[in-house]
Amino acid sequence: MTAPSYSVIRLKPKANARAIRRGFPWVYDNELVTDRRTKKLAAGSLAVLEEADRTPLGLVAVNPNSKIFGRMLDRDPNAVIDQAWFAARIGKALDMRSRLYADPFYRLVHAEADGLPGVIIDRFGDTAVVQPNAAWADVHFDALEAALIDTTGVKNVIKNASGRARSLEGLDDVTATTTGTAPDAPVEVPMNGAIYMADLTGGQKTGLFFDQRPNHAFAASLSRDAKVLDVFSHVGGFSLAALAGGASSALAVDGSAAALELAEAGAKAAGFGDRFATRKGDAFDTLAKLGEEGETFDVVICDPPAFAPNKQSLEAGLRAYERIARLAAPLVRQGGYLGLCSCSHAAEVNKFRVACLRGLGRAGRASQLLHTGFAGPDHPLMPQLAESGYLKSLFFRL
């Protein structure tokens, strides 16, 4: 077989080639020798990355329009990126998930950590929702999709083009069903003894957040006979798990009426409808109002969106996490439990913990830290890439 002919991009002499050799998957634009030829490379095209001395480091996907100029695809500079190549990567990912989960509801591909940079694939039974968040994945989408169908047997594929990452890559935001038929009703997803309703075409992200599964389970273990408050609940993530764990009641708070309707449908489908209630409103305002109303709960969980999605927003984000802790703590009964979550990769766990403890202190509450949780194993962490380990959950007894 004739070796493919690829363009070549080269690191500057002072670039950190050692980090790339040790597994770091990104090459930033300021690390490269960028001449007129390099800048004219098409977004999503492939190139061999070389050290300054011309030693090959591997095959990368390039995007001159992005600060992440190159994403490592294969350490073999002669690799062929075709359906077979995708099938090998997806097959490895599928093997691990099939061992972890009895039912086909999970994150199948977690981007760089599964060897497919910028690619997210969530599986909902016979339907897969794909987020190709990097230009190369858009260019090679047909081969990716064919390999996905052949390897997993899914019948429907939805290409989800929403989200900030695609805009940073200069990509469109057109979501479409590319194979089969999109479900015409929310999909029932069984997790932790509860049933969640996932809107695969109109919901947030891919329709459901699988990453919190083990943290939902831990919260459920605290919730037997408990009165539970789930803030930023989306479709009932923590509250429905708590009801499955024996909670006496659960109140879900979210700003989206559509998400709360799905949460109510999930509670009803699982037989929890009589113990479940919702409240639409801004989370900060609702926490304050519940405090003014004298409400208290045995278990309170707050799972907000990313307040610190990047380094520039870190300080403001940490102040927001502190405020959440300060407002939530008075709602927890003496001896009760408070779960605080962050999906901001910029707010690493130590800084997040300090912000939460500062909020608890301002609320006048003493605490024990019981448990620190992270994303489930279908969201593996790439050790060389901190961004792949974004989720953290802290559970306190107050």
Task: Provide the token pair at 274.
Answer: 């009589």
Give the pLDDT score at 165: 85
pTM value?
0.95
C-alpha count within 13 angstroms, C-beta hemisphere, residue 34: 17
Q: Within a domain: residue 2?
A: no
Q: Give pLDDT tens digits for 331-344.
A: 999 999 999 999 99
Q: List pLDDT tens digits, range 128-168.
A: 999 999 999 999 999 999 999 999 999 999 999 987 888 88
Statement to judge: residues 157 and 39 lie in one domain: no
pLDDT tier, 4 (very low <50, low <70, confident <90, very high otherwise): confident
What's the count of helices (H) and strands (E) in the chain, helices before strands? Answer: 12, 19
Specify whether 20 is located in the same domain as 57: yes
Q: Looking at the predicted structure, is the pLDDT value of residue 2 above 70?
A: no
Handedness of CA 223, 228, 229, 230 (dihedral sign): positive
Helix boundaries (H) for 22-175:
36-39, 83-100, 135-139, 141-152, 164-168
Residue 230 shares a structural domain with residue 255: yes
Q: What percent of the chain has pLDDT over 70?
A: 99
CATH number at residue 119: 3.30.750.80
304 plus 341 within the same structural domain: yes
Cβ–Cβ < 8 Å for 248, 224: no
Q: What pLDDT score does 260 carry?
A: 97
Place of tokens 């050799």: 21
Label residue 163 left, alpha or beta by phi (over 0 means left) and psi (-120 to 50 means alpha): left
Select from 131, 146, 179 the last residue of a domain: 179
Confidence band for 3, pLDDT divided at 50, 70 and 90: low
**% of the chain exceeding 90 in pLDDT:** 90
50 occurs within a structural domain: yes
**H helices of the chain, where?**
17-21, 36-39, 83-100, 135-139, 141-152, 164-168, 213-221, 237-244, 257-269, 283-292, 314-328, 349-362
> Residue 191: enclosing H or E segment and its boundaries?
strand 187-191
25 and 90 both lie in a single domain? no
pLDDT of residue 79 exceeding 80: yes
Question: Which of 24-33, 166-175, 264-273 bottoms out in mean pLDDT, i.e. has the lowest?
Answer: 166-175
Give the CATH number of the domain where residue 352 resides: 3.40.50.150
Instruction: Provide the CATH number for the domain around residue 65.
Output: 2.30.130.10
Residue at which a domain ends, from 179, 204, 238: 179
Residue 264 sits in the same domain as residue 197: yes
Residues 280 and 199 reside in one and the same domain:
yes
Predicted confidence at residue 163, as pLDDT, reads: 77
Query: What tokens appear for 397 in the block?
Result: 């007894």
| pLDDT level of residue 241 (50, 70, 90 thresholds) | very high
Q: Is the pLDDT of residue 1 over 60?
A: no
Q: What range does the domain containing 61 cover?
A: 7-74
**How far is 170 from 133, CA to CA, in rounded Å?**
10
| pLDDT above 80 (res 112) | yes
Which two structure tokens, joined as six digits, stand for 287? 């926490």
DSSP structure string for 28-58: EGGGB---HHHHTSPTT-EEEEE-TT--EEE
Domain boundary among 24, 55, 74: 74
273 conformational bin, left if phi > 0, alpha if psi -120 to 50, beta if neither:
alpha
Stretch 69-92: mean pLDDT: 97
Q: How deeply is 328 buried, as exposed, middle or buried, from its count of CB atoms within 10 A (0-12, 13-18, 19+)? A: buried
Q: What's the rounded mean pLDDT across residues 213-235?
A: 98
Q: Is residue 234 part of a domain?
A: yes
For position 164, what pLDDT does the model report?
A: 81
Does pLDDT of 225 surpass 70? yes
Closest-CA residue to 175 (of 161, 191, 193)? 161
Mean pLDDT of the chain: 95
| Phi and psi torsions of 142, nearest 5° | -60, -45
Q: Residue 210, Cβ neighbours under 10 Å: how many?
A: 25
Is residue 1, in this structure, part of any structural domain at all?
no
Question: 54 and 193 share a domain?
Answer: no
In a shared domain, residues 227 and 360: yes
Q: What is the pLDDT of residues 273-312, one digit of tens each?
A: 999 999 999 999 999 999 999 999 999 999 999 999 888 9
**339 and 202 fall within a common domain:** yes
Q: Is the pLDDT of residue 89 over 70?
A: yes
Residue 259 lies in a domain: yes
How far apart are alpha carbons 342 and 53 in whole angstroms? 42
**51 and 135 both lie in a single domain:** no
Report residue 212 as tokens.
Answer: 């919190």
Dump pLDDT digits (tens) for 347-371: 999 999 999 999 999 999 999 999 9
Residue 363 resides in a domain:
yes
Residue 301 tokens, joined = 């969980």
Instruction: Say whether both 30 and 134 belong to one domain.
Output: no
Say whether 196 sits in a helix, a strand or coil: strand
Q: How many domains does the chain have?
A: 3
Q: What is the CA radius of gyration of the chain?
A: 23
Q: Is residue 127 part of a domain?
A: yes
Go through the chain and tell me how many residues it has.
398
> Considering the domain boundaries, does residue 97 fall inside one?
yes
